[in-house]
Amino acid sequence: MTTINLKTIIKAPILTVFDISRDISEHEASTNSTREKAIAGKTSGKINLGETVTWRAKHFGLYLKHTSLILAFESPTYFVDEMTKGAFKSFHHEHRFVENENGTEMIDVLTYEVPYGIFGKIFNYFILKSYLTKFLLERNLHIKQRAESFDLKT
């Protein structure tokens, strides 16, 4: 089991950050490098408790599908998506939001397990963990830029 913990400070109200984080179109826009596209379940708008989304994206030269279910949701402070189908043995992503004097602290706690025994563990150690961390950092930068520019317009 591997866990990635990230914190991003965003100078925007908590509800703005929360809503951008669960918006399907914003997710697609934040993942240009992998051409992520919602192809089933919730494919537009803001995802909510009990809804699923299936993503199709290109990772490591292969098109992969990943279906997630929103299994916990408390606006505007918390939601959890968990893989129901996909390439991982398990995949659990907690999204936490804390309002403070600087705006909003967005916290990601991604816990996953790879398949393929020792080969999966070697791949994870040398490649996958850093790849997923970079992927999340790029996504978080997109959320930060959108939320901070949106906040300036209001």
pLDDT tens-digit profile of 69-111? 999 999 999 999 999 999 999 999 999 999 999 899 999 999 9
Is there a contact between 56 and 68 (Cβ–Cβ < 8 Å)? no
Residue type, 43: T
- What percentage of the chain exceeds 90 in pLDDT? 94
* Prediction pTM value: 0.94
Structural domains in the chain plus CATH codes: 2-153 (3.30.530.20)
